[in-house]
Amino acid sequence: MTIENIVEIADLAFSYPTREIFKRVNLAIPRGQVVGIMGGSGSGKSTLLRLIGGQLHPSRGVCKVMGQDVHKLGHEQLYELRRKIGMQFQQNGLFTDMSVFDNLAFPMREKTKLPESLIHDLVLLKLNAVGLRGAADLMPSELSGGMTRRVGLARAIALDPALIMYDEPFAGLDPISCNVVGNLIRKLNDALGVTSIVVSYDAQEALKIVDYVYFLADGMIAAQGATEAVKVSTDPFVHQFIRGQPDGPVPFHYPAGSYADDMDIGVRAR
């Protein structure tokens, strides 16, 4: 039986020791789609990916991936599930003392029993898919920002996962590199028949490639919708976020007490 939604999250709550991140989150990631998770800095986008991957445990709620309740899995079961998930990290996460080739070969060597001859061919295949077969022998320090991101993308698809998660894939890239990476995410998703979750605060780039988008704010899903509907939405939060406007439901200032009181405390402290 094919599971329609590859990820299902219901009534999810999570807090760090000093801060509540999620009050109640409900969402579903349909199989075969590219789904965006957007929100301002600190809204919990990367935390959500860690919960999906089982690195963090919720204080309440359920997170199912491929039909399995992630946080009820034993160590071996979780390890097996993670083999079906590819991850592109926000800071790329490449091993700096390994070549591009060995960075891609690493998960194959660690998680499979494939012979080196087959690993060699698979690595070159994945690199070719992102246009970097000629960079196989380079070190990460020799790559540009855009190239590094593409190597991270190639490593994310190294084990032919069913689900790929991208954590801020456009951060720090120039417009050309953003366009290249975005097109690769879309094309690889469709060509490989996988499902992709794209976490980003860059609404302009993300909305070019996603099918559906969830907006996180105040510990909940503040808005959601198909891409074309979101682009013309009159919802105040969505309107402010995708246009990058300073005034709206999302405040510029972090919550604080009275400015006058803080100034008075400083004077009295002297």
Q: Which amino acid is present at 2?
A: T
Residue whose tokens read 């599930």: 81
Model pLDDT for residues 144-183, shown as the tens digit of each residue: 888 898 999 899 998 899 999 999 888 888 888 888 889 9
- pLDDT at position 1 is 40
Task: Look over the chain and give the mean of its residue pLDDT values, rounded to a whole number.
Answer: 88
d(CA 267, CA 98): 55
- Asked if residue 49 lies in contact with residue 165, where contact means CB atoms within 8 angstroms, the answer is yes
Q: How far apart are CA 45 and CA 52, in angstroms?
A: 11
Confidence at residue 189, expressed as pLDDT on a 0 to 100 scale: 93
pTM of the predicted model, to two decimals? 0.85
Please write the tens of the pLDDT for every residue from 128-144. Answer: 988 899 999 999 999 98
What DSSP state is assigned to residue 236? H
Helix/strand/coil (H, E, C) string of 103-159? HHHHHHHHHCCCCHHHHHHHHHHHHHHCCCHHHCCCCHHHCCHHHHHHHHHHHHCCC
Please give the domain boundaries of the chain with CATH numbers for all domains: 5-84+161-269 (3.40.50.300)
Segments of the chain scoring below 50 in pLDDT: 1
In which element (H, E) is residue 31 found?
Answer: none
pLDDT of residue 255: 61
Residue type, 96: T
